[in-house]
Amino acid sequence: MVHSDYTVRFWGVRGSIACPGPDTVRYGGNTSCVEIRCGGHLMVFDGGTGLRLLGNELTSSGQPAELDLFYSHTHFDHICGLPFFAPCYDARSRIRIWAGHLNGKGIEAVLNSMMIAPLFPIPMGIFTAKIDFIDFTAGEVLVPHPGIRLSTGPLNHPNDATGYRIEYSGKIVAYITDTEHRPDGLDHNVLQLIDGADVMIYDASYTDAEFLAHRDWGHSTWEEGVRLANAAGVKTLVIFHHDPGHDDDFMDQVAADAAIARAGTIVAQEGLVLRP
């Protein structure tokens, strides 16, 4: 059954650094930002450069924005869109910002440190929206709205990161980025988050062939995504967080190889909309 009120839209699908240009037109060059709508509730996962485009669309309606922004972690490619997110400058907007990886540092303080001189010309205090900052510990279950359940779990990434399992209307979407798989077997924390998921969005920055040269960088491969999806009974695997060095032709080859390895696998593109 298709749930038309449960949608996933990709605004940024790259990792590490934005890479706009003629070689990334089809898949997109903006960094991580995924919109998930559950009924009338808007949730956003990560605030990379793709967040700017989402903000522009939200403000184009003329209506105030109300949303929850969940960070997987606070490396720059995942947070640098916030100063350019138009709803932050609308006093009618209501934004809740969540993070589960900071171990006491506090998401408000971390984001504020991004927008101080000499790194940025204006402080976060210039935002006029009503913004609440909510810190939790990866592993907690969150209920941001009635009927929406978010299970969370720790991921294997430098400075820590959080994965999310979004359950709504009998359907499950898992958002798993940035994480490095373990050579001694499938990651138990990831398996819990993706178990039986209808859609699994997974950090597939590399191929298995590339992975050996990128150990300890905190990322995984599309082949590991296939192995995890098969083990957990996932319906649709979505390859995400593309390396900035992978142009459209490279991603076309990944898409072809992944479709053979696991039928129905999707490579995320900017603008892609899925309905679990």
Architecture of the domain whose range is 6-274: 4-Layer Sandwich (3.60)
Spatial neighbors of 130 by CB under 8 A, at least 6 apart, are 91, 93, 94, 95
Lookup: tokens for 53: 């485009």
Q: Please report which helix (H) or strand (E) contains residue 261, including its range.
A: helix 248-261
Cα distances from 144 to residues 12, 70, 90, 97, 264, in angstroms, run 23, 11, 22, 11, 31
Q: Which of 176, 173, 181 is nearest to 234 (CA)?
A: 173
Write the pLDDT tens digit of every residue in 147-171. Answer: 999 999 999 999 999 999 999 999 9
How would residue 223 be classed by pLDDT, with cut points 50, 70 and 90?
very high
Biggest alpha carbon–alpha carbon distance for the chain: 52
Q: Where are the domains of the chain?
A: 6-274
Answer yes or no: are the C-beta atoms of 220 and 206 closer than 8 Å: yes
- CA 139, CA 162: separation in Å to the nearest integer? 8
| Cα radius of gyration rounded to whole Å, the chain | 18
Residue 265, SS3 per DSSP: coil
Spatial neighbors of 137 by CB under 8 A, at least 6 apart, are 100, 103
The CB-side HSE value for 122 (13 A sphere, CA atoms) comes to 10
How large is the average pLDDT for residues 70-88? 98
Give the pLDDT confidence score for residue 188 in this predicted structure: 97
- In this prediction the pTM is 0.97
Give the pLDDT confidence score for residue 183 in this predicted structure: 84
Going by their DSSP bridges, the two strands 66-71 and 94-99 should be labelled as: parallel
Answer whether residue 44 shows pLDDT above 80.
yes
Given its phi and psi angles, is residue 58 left (phi above 0), alpha (psi -120 to 50 degrees) or beta? alpha
Answer whether residue 178 shows pLDDT above 50.
yes
Query: Residue 231 burial by CB count (10 A; 0-12/13-18/19+): exposed, middle or buried?
Result: middle
- CA 274, CA 29: separation in Å to the nearest integer? 20
- CA 109, CA 102: separation in Å to the nearest integer? 10
Lookup: tokens for 90: 């609308």
Average pLDDT, the chain: 96
Q: What percent of the chain has pLDDT over 90?
A: 96
Lookup: tokens for 272: 């892609």
Give the pLDDT confidence score for residue 146 in this predicted structure: 95
Give the pLDDT confidence score for residue 209 in this predicted structure: 96
Answer whether residue 98 shows pLDDT above 50.
yes
First to last CA, the chain: 9
Write the pLDDT tens digit of every residue in 52-69. Answer: 999 999 999 999 999 999
Answer whether residue 3 shows pLDDT above 90.
no
Q: For residue 269, which phi and psi values (nearest 5 degrees)?
A: -130, 150
Query: Residue 157 burial by CB count (10 A; 0-12/13-18/19+): exposed, middle or buried?
Result: buried
How large is the average pLDDT for residues 64-88? 98
How would residue 17 be classed by pLDDT, with cut points 50, 70 and 90?
very high
Residue with tokens 């790259």: 14
